[in-house]
Structure 1
C-alpha cells in the first residue's frame, strides 16, 4: 500500500527551518494528503483527530507538529529535566520504537531529546534517561503509568499530546488507562492534542470530544490510500504444496527484503525451520520473542543480515522497514483489515512491491471478505510444476522457547501546575497490576 503525494510542499506549510533541513536530507519534498491537511491546522494551534491507516505518513505528521511546537513555543521557565513537553502514546512497543527512530531523524538538527518507555526492555535504563532530561516521551500506556505513579516524570510542562492508533487501544482493552493519563494532564485547552485512528468510530470520537479541545476531524479517503503500486497475486495451493511453492517463489523472485505472514505461531515456526533447512536466511518474529531479540531481528532485516522475516500479525502494524520488496501471505488472514496492514509493509514511500498470497485449504474462505474490503478481485496465478521445487527437510531442532521478560512488571497556558491531580486517585490498583506492561499483552498473537 502506498500513499499518493499531494501537491503541497513542506516549505510552503510554514515549518521551522531546522525541520525543513531534516526533511531535505531525508528526501521529503511533498507532503502526503494527511500531512497536507493536518499540519496547517496543527501549526495554527488547532487540535486534530485524524482517520488514517498505516503508510499514510501520519507519524511524520504528528512528529513535525510536535517538533515545530517545541521549537517555537517558549517552555515553562522553571521546567525540570524530567518534565517532558510532549507525550506520544502508542499501543505497542514496536510502534514506540519506530516513532522514536523517526523522531530522531526529524530532530537531528535540533537539541530536542527523545526518550522511550515500554515493557520488555531495560527498566532502570529507561527510567534514568527520562530523569536525566526528556523533551519528547514516547511510550506504551502501561509503562508510562508505572513511571508516572513513581514520580519519574510528570505533566507540569506538557505542551503536546498524541494518541496513536486509538482504535487499537479500545480493541486491546486499555482505554481506561488512557483516560487515567489524560485526567492527570493539563486541561485540553492548555495543550495541543492529536488523535489518530484507522477508524473514527463513535467511541473514538467520544474520547476525542472528552479529552481534546474542539478537534478538527480529518479523513483520508480510501482512494487516497491505495495499493496500486503493489502487485497482488493469489495462488490456490494444497496444504502439502505451500512450502514447496513458497520456496519456489522465493527462488524465482529473489526478494531483497521480504516478510512472510502466518496466522499462528506454530505455523510461523514451521515455515522458519523449513527456510533455514533450505539455506534461506530468515528470522522469526512472534509474540514470545523478547524485546532485545525483537529489536535485533528488525535491525538484521534492515541491514540485510537476514533476507526475510517470518511473522504473525503481531508485526503487521507499526513496523516501517525501508526496502521491503515482497510480502508473502502464507496464510490468508482471518481479518480483512489485516490483509491491508500486511501488504502495507511493502511499496512504502513511493516504491513498488509484490504481495503474494496463498488461499490454502484452511483459509481460502477468508478471501471473499478480503476482496470486499479492498474493493477489487485479486489476480490469480496457477500453481505450476516448476514452482513446486524439491525442498530439503526442515531443520529438526525446535526454535528456542523464550521466557517472558518479567524484570519489572509492576501547554499553552503556563499556569497549570495545580491542574495535575494526585498520582494515585481514582485509579484501580488491580487495573495497574494487570496493565503494568501493556506491551506484553499486545505482543501476543490472537490465534495462538
Structure 2
C-alpha cells in the first residue's frame, strides 16, 4: 500500500482520487530512493505507472520543505511532446488536488501569451517541452536557478528527437538543483546511459520488472503486402473487423497520414489524425475525438507514439514500419496498457524485411505471419541476407596463419 512510503495524508487522498489501489513495480522501486533525495536512473515499460513514480516524491519534497517566498518553480519536468506534458500535468493536478501545490504547463504550439500566468505568478511544478522552455530562458522570462528537482521523462525519446543540446542548456541553467531523475522506457540503443552519466550524481539504477497484471499482453503479428495499395486494402479490412474497438495507425510521413485519412473516410471508416505541425487546439481536438469515441481510429506520425495516453486502445497498426526497433516498442506500447490485452499488427513490404529482422532480434522472438485469405500476397517473403561476421584474430594467431601459409608454399616448391 502507498502508506508504507510515509507520504503525506493529502497525497494519499490524491492517490485515492486517482483510483490507485497499490503501487506498481516501478513505483515500489523509485519512491523510497527518490524520497531520500537520491539521483535516479529508471527504466520501465510504458503504461506501468511511471508518472506517479516521480510526481509523488517531488510533491512530498514540496510539502516537507514549504516555500518561504514567492518565485519561480522549484520542480521542472521535461517531456518530449506536448501531449505527454499535458497528460503528466493532469495526473500531477489529480495527485496533488488536496494540497496547495500549483502546477503549470509550458509547451510549443500555443500563443506565447498563454503562459503569462505561469511566468509571472508563483508556480511550484512546471512540466515543459524543451524547445519552448529554452525560448523563455533565453528571453529572461524564466529563471531556472530556483529549480531544486529536475525530472527528464521519456529521456530516450527526447534524445531521439534531437533535443540533446537544448536539454544540456536547460540543465546548465538549473545547475543549483539538489536532485535529478531520469526516466526511460528503454535503455538500449538510445545513448541514455552515456547521457545520464554526464548529468546524474551517483544515481541509483532501477529497472522495473512489471508483474503479469501490470505487464501488457500484446499479441503481435505481420501481414505481408505486395505494394502500398495492397497495404491500404489490408488496413481497411482490419479496421472493419468487429474486435477493433479503438485503433492507432502509424505512418512515417505527414503526407501518408493525410492520404490514409482520406482513404479511410472514402471506405466509411471515420478517423482522426495527428501529426507534428498541427496547431495545439486541433491536436487536442483530435485526441478528444478518440478519447470520447466520436471516432475509433487515429492515424498518426510518431509524434503520438509517446504522447498518446489512452488506456483502452485495442489495436496498434504499423502502416509504415519504423526505422528503429526501439521505436517499434514505443508504438506498440500504446495498446495493452494497465494490464489490458492489446494487438499490434504490422503491414510489411519486401523492403521492410531488414527492419523486421532487427525487431525480432531486439525482442528475441519471431513475429507471427498471418494471411487474410481474400488479400493473400502474391510475392513470397523476402529473405534477408545474413552478413558473415569478420573473424578477429590476435597477433599470435595472424603469425601462426602466416607461418602455415608459408609452410604450404614451401612444400609446393619442393
TM-score band w.r.t. shorter chain: 0.7 to 0.9
SS in 2 for 1:364: helix
* Distance of aligned partners of 1:153 and 1:228 in 2 relative to their CA distance in 1, 3 Å threshold: closer
Partner of 2:52: 60
Partner of 1:291: 280
| Correspondence for 1:194 among 181, 195, 202 | 181
| Correspondence for 1:220 among 208, 215, 219 | 208
SS in 2 for 1:199: coil
SS in 1 for 2:144: coil
| Correspondence for 2:374 among 367, 385, 393 | 385
* Distance of aligned partners of 1:224 and 1:218 in 2 relative to their CA distance in 1, 3 Å threshold: farther
| Correspondence for 1:127 among 110, 113, 116 | 116
Superposed CA deviations along residues 188-231 of structure 1, whole A, max 9, x for unmatched, are: 4xx22211233278964454444434221212359989976112
Structure 1 unpaired stretches of 5+ = 1-8, 389-448
Normalised by the length of structure 2, the TM-score is 0.83
C-alpha separation between the residues in 2 aligned to 1:52 and 1:175? 21
* Distance of aligned partners of 1:163 and 1:375 in 2 relative to their CA distance in 1, 3 Å threshold: same
CA-atom RMSD in angstroms: 2.6
Pair 1:16 & 2:8 matched: yes
Partner of 1:97: 86
* Distance of aligned partners of 1:244 and 1:57 in 2 relative to their CA distance in 1, 3 Å threshold: same
C-alpha separation between the residues in 1 aligned to 2:355 and 2:35? 43
C-alpha separation between the residues in 1 aligned to 2:320 and 2:233? 14
C-alpha separation between the residues in 2 aligned to 1:266 and 1:147? 32
C-alpha separation between the residues in 2 aligned to 1:147 and 1:221? 39
Partner of 1:78: 69
* Distance of aligned partners of 1:343 and 1:382 in 2 relative to their CA distance in 1, 3 Å threshold: same
C-alpha separation between the residues in 2 aligned to 1:126 and 1:105? 21
Q: 1:150 deviation in Å?
A: 3.3
* Distance of aligned partners of 1:384 and 1:248 in 2 relative to their CA distance in 1, 3 Å threshold: same
Pair 1:235 & 2:227 matched: no
C-alpha separation between the residues in 2 aligned to 1:226 and 1:11? 20
Q: Which residues of 2 match residues 395-406 of structure 1 at below 5 A? A: none
Which of the pair is proportionally richer in helix? 2
SS in 1 for 2:21: coil
Higher mean alpha-carbon deviation, 124-133 vs 225-234, is at 225-234
C-alpha separation between the residues in 1 aligned to 2:76 and 2:291? 27
* Distance of aligned partners of 1:100 and 1:387 in 2 relative to their CA distance in 1, 3 Å threshold: farther
SS in 1 for 2:126: strand
* Distance of aligned partners of 1:143 and 1:264 in 2 relative to their CA distance in 1, 3 Å threshold: closer
* Distance of aligned partners of 1:222 and 1:378 in 2 relative to their CA distance in 1, 3 Å threshold: farther
Partner of 1:144: 133
C-alpha separation between the residues in 2 aligned to 1:162 and 1:285? 27
CA contact (8 A) 2:216 2:336 kept: no
Q: 1:48 deviation in Å?
A: 0.9
* Distance of aligned partners of 1:208 and 1:245 in 2 relative to their CA distance in 1, 3 Å threshold: closer
* Distance of aligned partners of 1:226 and 1:299 in 2 relative to their CA distance in 1, 3 Å threshold: same
* Distance of aligned partners of 1:68 and 1:379 in 2 relative to their CA distance in 1, 3 Å threshold: same
Q: 1:258 deviation in Å?
A: 1.0
Partner of 2:240: 251
Structure 2 unpaired stretches of 5+ = 378-414
C-alpha separation between the residues in 1 aligned to 2:160 and 2:291? 30
C-alpha separation between the residues in 2 aligned to 1:25 and 1:226? 20
Q: 1:344 deviation in Å?
A: 0.6
Q: 1:122 deviation in Å?
A: 1.8
| Correspondence for 2:28 among 36, 61, 84 | 36
Question: Which structure is larger by alpha-carbon Rg, 1 or 2?
Answer: 2
SS in 2 for 1:377: coil
* Distance of aligned partners of 1:169 and 1:252 in 2 relative to their CA distance in 1, 3 Å threshold: closer
Q: 1:132 deviation in Å?
A: 2.6
CA contact (8 A) 1:88 1:138 kept: yes
Q: 1:346 deviation in Å?
A: 0.7
Q: 1:302 deviation in Å?
A: 0.8
C-alpha separation between the residues in 1 aligned to 2:343 and 2:162? 34
Partner of 1:179: 168
C-alpha separation between the residues in 2 aligned to 1:65 and 1:90? 18
C-alpha separation between the residues in 2 aligned to 1:122 and 1:228? 38
Partner of 1:348: 337
C-alpha separation between the residues in 1 aligned to 2:271 and 2:222? 23
